[in-house]
Amino acid sequence: MILIDVLGLPAPQGSKRHVGRGILVESSTKVGPWREAVVAATVNQGHGNRMMEGPIKVDVSFYFPRPKGHYRGDGSLKDSAPFTHATKPDIDKVLRSTLDALVQAAVISDDSRVQEVRAMKLYATGDRAPGAVIVIEDGGRA
């Protein structure tokens, strides 16, 4: 099992746009810093180049900053503030950028090796800063 704690703003890997001569660029400017954060956390926590060939199970909890509207004037959290994050970005697109970063960090050989995924979008609260907690496990025989 590999456990990776990433700090940063989870970002979706969205569409690519064509800029000419067959060159495609990411339409999201936030995906680069997020992927870099995932790679850096993976390497800094001693998991870089620890290749898992698969089949692989991945469990990711993404933590997003809370909007100001979730807080009272005194800074305390409103009772009506939700625990889960059910707005953009789409979870599948954030997962795509995260899995691609894990391939870049040489933790998984290819994201096609992932056979099972559990992903959640939550709000960062208390001591939990925005980012993600990623657990990667051997999926057993496919």
Domains and CATH numbers, the chain: 2-138 (3.30.1330.70)
Question: pLDDT confidence of 49, banded at 50, 70, 90?
Answer: confident
| Residue of 41, 49, 36 whose CA lies nearest to 101 | 36
| Integer CA distances (angstroms), 33 to 15, 20, 59, 98, in order | 16, 24, 21, 11
pLDDT band at 141 (very low <50, low <70, confident <90, very high): low
- The span from the CA of 21 to the CA of 15, in Å, is 18
Give residue 18's pLDDT band: very low, low, confident or very high (50, 70, 90): low
**End-to-end Cα, the chain, rounded Å:** 17
How far is the C-alpha of 134 from the C-alpha of 61, rounded, in Å?
A: 7
